Chain A
Amino acid sequence: MIEGARWRRWVFFYLPLTAFVVSLLFPFYWMIVTAVRPDNELYRPWNAPNYAPFWTLHPTLEHVRDLLNDTLFGTWMLNTMLISLAATAISLFCGLLAGYALARLKFPFAGSIGTGIFITYLVPQTLLFIPLSDIIRNFHLGDSPWALILTYPTFLIPFCTWLMMGYFKSIPKELEECARIDGAPRWKAMLYIIFPVAIPGILSAGIFAFTLSWNEFIYALVFLSSPEQKTVPVGVTSELVRGDVFYWGELMAGALLGSIPVAFVYSFFVEYYVSGITGSVKG
């Protein structure tokens, strides 16, 4: 708590906090207003006399309706959801095992493999996506969600691994030793004792991975072709930016609706997310 006079609280706490909240959330307010603003108000220049940027007197749901009817928005949401969940599952699985191995076990090349995993994070996507097209072709994954489900983990696993490593390092060795003294094999100790303790870490890695998958653009743009297969970011930008004309109302509506599932997930798990990182940081 900030001790001292009330004015101190105001200046050092409430004011900055409000400033942060306003600047971080204003664009969302803006998006909501734009999404419900009728077209004839949308195209009023900012120095016109009746420019009312912060509200509209004639809110309309026509943009939302157009978005859901004229485009395959529902399909895109479904695709993105499925791809993100699957990619997250794979990344968590790999990250969990890899994190445990690197944090708790000694084996040859542990250091180099760990570094190797980390180095892959440095390779930019703009370099990879052309050669990846070849591989996608060889495995006949073109234009299917599997192209993304298998390539997204490439940039998700390093972070998940790091997070889990940190978490596992913070768990005292005694826990495992106890179980092994009692005769349990190592892998069972791992599965039944260590992993449950790391659940907050797993959740936070999962949430982070989910967000990044949801967000991804280049690979989704290049590896998917049919409109039915597209993800939300690609679908919204390709269908709602028709050459000369940006359908701002629908774009903003799409942006908002496209963020809801992830926001939903976060609202449930944000406490886990925070404590997850906390745990991994301790180690």
Chain B
Amino acid sequence: MGQVDRRRFLRLSWAGAAAAGAGGLAGILASGRAPAAGQEQTVHWVRWSDFVPASDQLLKGKLTEECKKATGIKLRLETINANDIQARVTSAIQAQTGPDVIMSLGNWVQLYATSLADVSDVAEEIGKAQGGYYNVSKMVGIYKGKWVGVPWAIVGGLVAYRKSWFAEVGYDKFPTSWEQWHDAGKKLKAKGRPIGQTLGHTFGDAPGFWYAWLWSFGGKEVEADGKTVALNSKETLESVKFATRFWTDCCDPGGLAWDDTSNNRAFLSGTIAATANGASIYLEARKKPDTYQTEKGAPMKDDIQHAPLGTGAGGHFNLPIPFTDMVMGYSKNQKAAKEFLRWVHSKPVFEEWFTSQQGYTDGATKDWEKDPVWKVDPVLEPFKNLPEAGRLAGYAGPPNQKAAEVVTKYIIVDMYAKAVQGMKPEDAVAWATAECKKVYGA
């Protein structure tokens, strides 16, 4: 958008806003536009600022135009920082006015379920047409038997690692069990190349790693009844003890302060050997091969590989983040919103967006595992079927508001953070259990 367009737009929107208070005809006169024949349908969509900027550009540009042509709906897409989405949703619901469709991350849908419109018709249609939804999408999208959001996509995390460095310490194949991780990490840290993982209060990477860690040792937050806190177990204690060893011997101590972006930065500047993350690290290195180089001067992208998180005594899991589009209950454009969602999920349209993501996300339905985008770059192929091994916070109970509270209070993450900083593992587990009990009311 050029400078001139923006100024004109600004003037029009100011005039429009002022005139809106002054009344219909006056308003039209003031803004200098002829009234549109009939009402133009607008859908205001709020999403996060995508980790892959190209996708946002596609949505705001080409797809907005195509939407207008195909459905007559004017799409107004607004992207904001993921951390700020909840504040907007809250004030919108309280004020009963705001965007028509808001994208939710993880189990936020469940928090606002009673304020959302029923979109079962759209969701079921898409699910049937595209191979069925993954379990995790269903778990967050369905409330009391009805769909309250249309699943959009799923982001998963894998471990991005430096192939050459791991080979140097004897691991041509990336370690699979946590013991192997510990062995490799110890050797790497001795060379000044520790593993990097966040233990800070950040919504993406911290729960993503540490919940998976807990589950892989067989621990869990709550029983399947969703009420009995099951954190205080042998498995959990074992996971905390191992975490302490792992952290001290293998990890970058700065991780306690890291947010979701710090591990990206650390990896790209060559200070850590491996970190669990989405595909954004590799994508960034690939985008700017001259900026991000190895210590030997070669482009770093050639040295990056992805591998799954470690396997423990309890198995192997990950914590994916499902994205769901919520149609807000207060919206006056619900019909248009649903039509829009139907259109945007149609194969050719969604395909365009999916391709622009270059493998950063998985589709919410299983058909997208076969999409050609996965053939483009073998480094990203491991991401394609992550949601299969996915579990959500609140396991073994449902991913409901109580589970969300545990996540927001970072109880699980802090359990490990405290142990790593010197608290006795038994005390850390006891603290976390007590906090969970307060949340679950048991």
Contacts and interface: CB of A to CB of B under 8 A. Distances in A.
B9 to A, nearest CB: 7
A142 interface: yes
A129 B91 contact: yes
A245 interface: yes
B187 interface: no
A43 B268 contact: yes
Contact of B51 (A43, A72, A245): A245
A40 B299 CA distance: 12
Given A78-B10, A133-B91, A133-B95, A245 B84 contact: no
Contacts of A227: 78
A44 B9 contact: no
Contacts of B3: 74
Contacts of A130: 90-91, 94
Interface in B146-196: none
Interface in A15-49: 39-40, 43-45, 48
A225 B84 contact: no
B421 interface: no
B6 interface: yes
Contacts of B44: 225
Contacts of B49: 238-239, 241-243
Contacts of A237: 81
Nearest to B93: A133
Interface string B71-88: 000001011111010011
Nearest to A72: B6
Given A43-B269, A130-B91, A223-B91, A243 B51 contact: yes
Contacts of B268: 43
B269 A44 contact: yes
A260 to B, nearest CB: 19
B54 to A, nearest CB: 12
Contacts of B261: 241, 243-246
A44 B277 CA distance: 20
Contact of A244 (B9, B88, B94, B264): B264
A45 B270 contact: yes
Nearest to B3: A74
Interface in B1-15: 3, 6, 9-10, 13
B99 A225 contact: yes
A136 B92 CA distance: 11
B81 A245 contact: no
B103 to A, nearest CB: 13
B6 A75 contact: yes
B96 A225 contact: no
B50 interface: yes
A40 B6 contact: no
Range for the number of chain A residues in contact with chain B: 35 or more
Interface string A222-246: 1101111000000001110111111
B96 A137 contact: yes
Contacts of B292: 43
A134 interface: yes
A133 B84 CA distance: 16
A144 interface: yes
Nearest to B9: A228
A3 to B, nearest CB: 49
B284 A222 contact: no
A85 to B, nearest CB: 15
A227 B13 CA distance: 12
A221 interface: yes
Given A39-B291, A244-B261, A245-B284, A142 B95 contact: yes
Nearest to A142: B97
Interface string B259-300: 011001110111100000110110010001011100000000
A124 B42 CA distance: 37
B53 interface: yes
B78 A225 contact: yes
A81 B10 CA distance: 14
A244 B260 contact: yes
Contacts of A238: 49, 80-81, 84
B395 interface: no
A228 B10 CA distance: 7
B17 interface: yes
A43 B78 CA distance: 29
A29 to B, nearest CB: 22
Contacts of A239: 49, 79
B50 A242 contact: yes
Contacts of B95: 133-134, 136-137, 142
Nearest to A246: B261
Kindly name the residue among B51, B80, B98, B260 whose own CB sees the greatest number of chain A CB atoms within 10 A: B80
Contacts of B79: 239
Given A243-B48, A244-B51, A245-B261, A45 B291 contact: no
Interface in A51-110: 72, 74-75, 78
Contact of B97 (A45, A137, A222, A243): A137
Interface string B43-73: 0101011110100000000000000000000
Contacts of B91: 129-130, 133, 222-223
Interface string B378-405: 0000000000000000000000000000
A47 to B, nearest CB: 8
Contacts of A143: 98
Given A40-B291, A228-B13, A245-B280, A221 B84 contact: yes
The 6 lowest CB-CB distance pairs between A and B, nearest first, are: A137-B95, A243-B51, A133-B95, A242-B49, A40-B291, A133-B91
Given A39-B288, A223-B91, 4 more contacts: A48-B269, A134-B95, A144-B17, A225-B98
24 contacts: A39-B288, A40-B291, A74-B6, A78-B10, A129-B91, A130-B90, A130-B91, A133-B94, A137-B96, A137-B97, A142-B95, A222-B87, A222-B91, A228-B13, A238-B49, A238-B84, A241-B49, A241-B261, A243-B82, A243-B260, A244-B277, A244-B278, A244-B281, A244-B284
